[in-house]
Amino acid sequence: MHIRANLSKKIITWYDNNKRSLPWRVPFNSPRKLYYRLLSEFMLQQTQVKTVIPYFERFTKEIKTLKKLSTTSERKILKFWEGLGYYRRARNLLVTAKIIVNQKKSILPKTLIDIKKLPGVGDYTGNALLALVYNQPRLALDGNVKRVFSRILNKHERKLDFENIIKKNQKKLFYSKRNSDLVEAMMEFGALICKPQEPNCGICPVSKTCKFHKSNKYTKLTDTIRSNKKSYNIFCYLNKKKQIGLTNKNNLGFLKEYNLPIIKEKLNRHKLKNWNFLCNYKNSISNKKLNINLYYKFSNKIPPSFIWHSMDKNKEFIPTFTKKIFRQVSTLF
Mind telling me the catalytic residues?
41
Residue 6 amino acid letter: N
The DSSP annotation for 10-30 comes to HHHHHHHHH----TT---TT-
Please count the other Cβ atoms lying within 10 Å of the Cβ belonging to residue 253: 9
CA distances from 116 to 42, 138, 186 (A): 13, 15, 22
Query: DSSP character for 53?
Result: H
Instruction: Write out the H or E segment, with its range, that includes residue 72.
Output: none
Q: How many residues does the chain have?
A: 333
CA dist., res. 46 & res. 70, Å (int): 23
CA dist., res. 259 & res. 248, Å (int): 4
| CB neighbour burial string for 185-196, b if at least 16 within 10 angstroms, e if fewer | bbbbbbbbbbee
CA dist., res. 39 & res. 70, Å (int): 12
C-alpha 96 chain-centroid distance:
17
